[in-house]
Amino acid sequence: MSETVRGKIDPGLDLEAEIVRLKKERNAVLLAHYYQEGDIQDLADFLGDSLQLAQQAKKTTADVILFAGVHFMAETAKILNPDRIVVVPDLEAGCSLADGCPVDRFRAWRAKYPDAVSITYINCTAEVKAESDYICTSSNAEKIVRAIPEDKEILFAPDKNLGRWLEQKTGRKMRLWQGSCVVHETFSLRKIIALREEHPTAKLIAHPECEEALLRMAAFIGSTTALLKYTQTDDAQAYIVATESGIVHQMRKASPHKTFLEGPPEKNCACNECPFMRLNTMEKVYLALRDLEPRIEMPLDLRERARVPIDRMLALS
């Protein structure tokens, strides 16, 4: 819902101060993903990747959880905190991976392999989570794959690139759902090669959602948090970052003496920014706290079924 529909905002309003005030007034916690715009990251009570945010959502004692990320992340927070109010800045902030794995098709896929164990990337809907055996994130996916007995077949959805990378890391052959992230599949191999020629000392680091040809070139592959930590501890002075560009804000804050180059997309566009994550704005964060809308709600049965594979994930993490 637009700001116009939900109420006009005084252009002279100090949004940062108002958000801080409303958080205290509502006993609210602001959870933000690394892919949010920098202003939102800087206001967050807790900042992280999908695993960290799921863990924090389970621990919170706030009455209100404002989740600045995408829809499936806020759903996870509601599943883990059914008695708390969970609000988002924009209900339309979805995910191409979740959209590409509808529950009816996922259920039919599972039915073809009734004895297989399904590990589903957290980038999926609550309905798909409820049909899964385990949820994983890019931070813990390898650990969860390795926890499955060798004699069990694994179904991995919905990201084929992450799944293929896990096959290489673990040696486990899996049946992969053919989905991909709209951001991570758009990085240009040609332009990255050219960027490396311009900056020969820069290391290419990449998220495992990137395509296989790019991952083969990377000096380091890891989750968003792992990429951030790597740039803090590694001795290189320059990096080409092949993941959503929001994380570069934290990299520059943590290592201001280093150079960070955003991985270029094939087209001349801002395609290295997630169009869903960037639907969230400071104005929408303010309105969500002011109005406690839009809220994340789901039926009790769905929450309870979706919680089982999430709790299995958290127990292993």
Q: What residues are designated binding site for [4Fe-4S] cluster?
A: 95, 181, 274
- The token duo for 249 is 């804000």
Beta-strand runs (E) in 69-182: 85-87, 117-121, 134-136, 154-157, 175-176
User: 165 burial class (0-12, 13-18, 19+ CB within 10 angstroms)?
Assistant: buried
Contact 250, 41 (CB under 8 A): yes
User: Helices 71-80 and 300-316: crossing angle, nearest 10°?
Assistant: 90
For the annotated binding site for iminosuccinate, the residues are 33, 50, 121-123, 138, 207-209, 224
Residues 310, 80 contacting (CB under 8 angstroms): yes
Q: Which residues of 209-230 are buried (b: 16+ CB within 10 A; e: fewer)?
A: bbbeebbeebeebbbbbbbbeb
**Dist. CA 39–CA 45, nearest whole Å:** 13
Listed in sequence order, the residues at least 6 apart from 301 whose beta carbon sits closer than 8 Å to its beta carbon are: none
Nearest to 184 by CA among 169, 164, 155: 164
The residue to which tokens 């039926």 are assigned:
299
Question: In angstroms, how far is the first alpha carbon of the chain from the final one?
Answer: 36
| Cβ–Cβ under 8 Å, residues 209 and 230 | no
> Is 147 in contact with 315 (CB distance < 8 Å)?
no
Binding residues: 33, 50, 95, 121-123, 138, 181, 207-209, 224, 274
CA gap 18, 29 in Å, rounded: 14
